[in-house]
Amino acid sequence: MYASIEKALHKHETNMKLKESEDRYRALVELSPIAIGIHSEGKVVYVNSAGVKLFGAKSKKELIGKPIMELVFTSFEDIVQERVKRAISRKEKLEAIEEKLIRMDGEELDVEISAIPIEFEGINAVQFVIRDISEVKKKERIHQATVKILQSVSLSQSLDQQYNYLHKTLIDFIEIKNVCFAFYDKRTDQITFPYFNDEFDAKPPPQQFENGLIEYTIKSARIQLLNKDAIKKLIDRKIISVNEKLPLKWMGVPVPLDEKLTLVLVIKEYMSEDFLGDKEVELINAISLPLTRAIERKMIEEEKKETLEKLEELNQTKDNFFSIISHDLRSPFDSILGFTEILKNDFEELTKEEIKLYLDSLYQTSRHIYNLLNNLLQYSKFQIGKTEFLQKSIKLNEIIEKNIAILGGNALKKEIKINNHSKEEFTVFADEDMLNSILVNLITNAIKFTQRGSEIVVSTSKKNGFAQISVKDNGVGMDEKTLRRIFKLDRKKSTPGTENETGTGLGLLIVKEYIEKHGGSIEVTSQPSKGSNFSFTLPLVTKYSSNSK
C-alpha cells in the first residue's frame, strides 16, 4: 500500500514538473521577439505577440481561426501546402526556407520560415517560426541594382545604350514604363532630354530653364514625389506650368554632376495611384548615386572617344591589341571605382551588411582583374619567347577531369552540365601548364556563350597519330564573318556572353598559339543559335617522345 501511495505521489510530482516546464515554455514563446505560431487543420490556432506585430494585426483574435493560406503570397501557395503536408502526414521537421507572406494590410512580407510537427491540445498541429528578412531582401535589391548599374558602363557602347540599359535595370526592380533622363546646363540655361521614354508624350526638344516640374525639382534640390492633385495645386498657385499630360504620379530625382550640370531622373505613372510607394522611393534614392556615376563615366568615355580613335590610326595593330586590354581592364575598374567611391563618401551611413556586400564585390572584381592580367602576361611572354615549354607524358582524361572540376562552380552558376564523353584513355606529349590553359580557356568560353540550363560536352578521339580533343556547346554559335576573325589580333573586343559575361578575346589567341607550339592544330565549326565545336590536336606519346622527357 505504501508502495502504491509512493508511486502515485511520484507520478503527481512528475506531472507537476511537466506542467511547470510547459508553462515556462509557453511563457518563453509568448515573450520571444521572434514570431511563433501554431496552425492545425489549415487554420491558425495560436500566435505569440511578436507574430501579431509581424502581421500587423490588432490582436491575437484577428489571427486565430484565420486560414493560413490567406496569409501566404499567391506564388508561394503550392510550396506552403506541400510543406504543411510533409509536416503533418510525414512528421517531418521543416528546415528554414524563404517565403513571402501577406500582412493584414495587404503589404508583402519577405520571411524565413521553419516548422515542426507537434500535438496541440490533443490534435496534430504544426508549430512555425517566422523570421522577418524584409530588410535583408531590401539591401540585396539595392546591392544587385547598384552592381548592375556600375557594370552598365562597360556593357554599353554609347550613351544611348547606357540610358537604355539603365532603364532596363530599373525595370528589373521596379515596373516602370515612363522614364526620362534630363540634363540642365547652367552655361546655356537649357534642359536637354537625351533619353525620353513615355507612353503619351513625345520627346521634347531642348528648352530654356523656366517653371516646369523639372525646374521645380532642381530648385528644391531634393526628391519630389507628387500625385496628380499636388501637381494641380502647384499649377493653380502658378508655381509651375505644365504643357504635358498629367500623370497620376510624378517623381523627380535631382543629382548635380558638377557646378554647372545637373541630372534629373524623371519617372511617371499614368495608370495607378498606388505606384511608387515608400519602398520604391527608398530604392531609387539609394541607387541614385551609382546611377549618376555610371552616366558620368560614360559621358567622359564619349568625350575621350574621338581622341582614342585618332590614336588607333597611328599604329593599328598595336592599338587594337591595347584596345582589347583597355576595354576589359576598364570594365572591372568601373565597378571597383564605383564601390570604393561609395565606401569613401558614404561609409558612415552604410550598415555592416552593406559594407560586407561591397567588399565581397570588390574581391570578386579583383579576382577577375588578376585572371585578365594573367592571360595578358601569358600572351606577352609567349610573344617574346620567354614562356617555358616542358613537354612530358600526360594522361589526357585525368587532366580533362581536373579542369572540368575546377570550372564546375562557374558552370553551376548557369546550371550548365559539363560532361566528359572520353571513352578511351590517351597519353599526350604536352606541356602541362599550357594544356591546362588551353582547356580552361575553351571550357570557359563554352560556358560564357551557352544558355542557362544547357550542356557542354568534352570528348577525345584519335586522328592521324594525334589525340583530338573537342569542346562542344549548344550555345549562341557564330556566323561565318565571326568565324573568320575569331583568332585574329585585330578584334577590338570580345562579344558579351549569354548573361553579359565579359572577356578579352586573348584567351582564344593563347589557345591557338599554345596548340601550334605543340605541332597541333585547332578547328572551329559553328552555326548561329545552334552552338560551336572547338576541336584541337596534340601529339600522342610515342617511344621517341617518351624518351625525350
Give the model confidence (pLDDT) of 267-280 as tens digits.
999 988 877 777 77
Q: Look at residue 144 in the predicted model and tell me its pLDDT.
A: 81
Give, in degrees to the nearest 5, the angle at Cα 364 between 359 and 365: 95
Q: Is 133 helix (H, G, I), strand (E, B) or coil?
A: coil
Q: Does 308 fall in a domain?
A: no
Q: Does 363 share its domain with 440?
A: no
Asked if 216 and 146 sit in the same domain, the reply is yes
Cβ contact 60:135 at 8 Å: no
Q: How far apart are CA 205 and CA 228, in angstroms?
A: 24
Report the pLDDT value the prediction gives residue 439, as an integer from 0 to 100: 92
- Report residue 512 as a C-alpha cell: 591557338
CATH of the domain at 127: 3.30.450.20
pLDDT of residue 7: 54
Inform me whether the pLDDT recorded for 518 exceeds 80. Answer: yes
Dist. CA 449–CA 155, nearest whole Å: 16
Neighbours of 142 (CB within 10 A): 19
- pLDDT at position 364 is 67
For residue 532, give the C-alpha cell. Answer: 560551336
Among 103, 172, 111, which Cα is nearest to 136's? 111
Q: Give the count of domains, the chain.
A: 4
Burial class (CB in 10 A: 0-12, 13-18, 19+), 424: exposed
Write out pLDDT tens, residues 26-70. 777 788 888 999 998 889 999 999 999 999 999 999 999 999 999
Residues 460-502 have pLDDT tens digits of 999 888 999 999 998 888 888 888 878 875 545 556 777 777 6
Residue located via cell numbers 559621358 = 299
CA distances from 33 to 30, 240, 328 (A): 8, 49, 49
* Range in 42-51, 178-187, 238-247, 328-337 the model is least confident about: 328-337
**Within this chain, do residues 395 and 380 fall inside the same structural domain, yes or no?**
no
pLDDT of residue 232: 93
**With contact defined as beta carbons under 8 Å apart, do 282 and 258 qualify?**
no
Is 305 inside any structural domain? Answer: no
| CA dist., res. 99 & res. 388, Å (int) | 55
Question: Beta 455-463 vs 108-120: how paired, if at all?
Answer: unpaired
Residue 520 region by backbone torsions, left for phi larger than 0, else alpha for psi between -120 and 50, else beta: beta
Same domain? 375 vs 404: no
Q: Tell me, what's the pLDDT at 317?
A: 44
Q: Which of 344, 363, 384 is the last residue of a domain?
A: 384
- Asked if the structure places residue 303 within a domain, the reply is no
Within 13 A of 108's CA, how many CA atoms are on the CB side?
Answer: 13
d(CA 403, CA 432): 12
Are residues 410 and 468 both part of a single domain?
yes
Residue 343 near residue 360, CB atoms below 8 Å? no
Confidence of residue 18 (pLDDT cuts 50, 70, 90): very low
Burial class (CB in 10 A: 0-12, 13-18, 19+), 503: buried
287: Cβ contacts below 8 Å, ≥ 6 apart = 142, 145, 146, 149
Chain-centre distance for alpha carbon 441: 23
CB 172 within 8 A of CB 262: no
Hey, what's the cell of 87? 509536416
For residue 224, being part of any structural domain is answered with yes
Q: What is the pLDDT of residues 320-345, one digit of tens each?
A: 556 556 655 666 677 778 778 888 88
In percent, how much of the chain has pLDDT > 70?
85
- Residue 374 in contact with residue 412, Cβ under 8 Å? no
Residue 201 has pLDDT above 90, yes or no: no
Query: Domain ends where: 337, 352, 384?
Result: 384
- Residues 249-265 have a mean pLDDT of 90
**Sheet architecture: strand order including 35-40:** 43-47, 35-40, 123-132, 108-120, 94-102
Question: Residue 426: which CATH number?
Answer: 3.30.565.10
Q: 357 and 422 in one domain?
A: no
What was the pLDDT predicted at 544? 43
8 Å CB contact between 426 and 524: no
* pLDDT over 50 (residue 516): yes
Whole-model pTM: value is 0.42
The pLDDT, as a whole number, for residue 520 is 92
C-alpha cell at 264: 534629373
CATH number at residue 260: 3.30.450.40
Highest averaged pLDDT of the listed ranges 163-167, 309-313, 445-449:
445-449
Task: Say what the pLDDT of residue 43 is.
Answer: 92
- The pLDDT, as a whole number, for residue 371 is 67
| Averaged pLDDT, 166-173 | 81
3-12, 221-230, 248-257, 296-305: segment of lowest average pLDDT: 3-12
22 phi-psi bin (left φ>0, alpha ψ -120 to 50, beta other): alpha
Specify whether 399 is located in the same domain as 508: yes
Residue 397 inside a domain? The answer is yes
Asked if the structure places residue 216 within a domain, the reply is yes
Smallest CA-to-CA distance from 328 within 293, 379, 290 is with 379
Q: Within this chain, do residues 464 and 536 fall inside the same structural domain, yes or no?
A: yes
- Looking at the structure, do residues 484 and 371 belong to the same domain, yes or no? no
Does residue 308 carry a pLDDT above 60? Answer: yes
Residue 323's pLDDT is: 58
370 and 255 assigned to the same domain: no
CATH code at position 356: 1.10.287.130
Among candidate residues 384, 403, 438, the one where a domain is terminated: 384
Residue 404 is assigned to a structural domain of this protein: yes
Same-domain check for residues 364 and 420:
no
Mean pLDDT of the chain: 82
310 inside domain: no
Q: What is the mean pLDDT of residues 237-262?
A: 89
Mean pLDDT of 184-211: 91
User: What is the residue range of 377's domain?
Assistant: 315-384
Q: How confident is the model at residue 25 (pLDDT cuts 50, 70, 90)?
A: low
What is the average pLDDT across 167-192? 87
Most confident of 223-227, 306-310, 365-369: 223-227
Residues 128 and 142 in one domain: no
The whole-number pLDDT of residue 273 equals 81
Radius of gyration of the chain (CA): 32
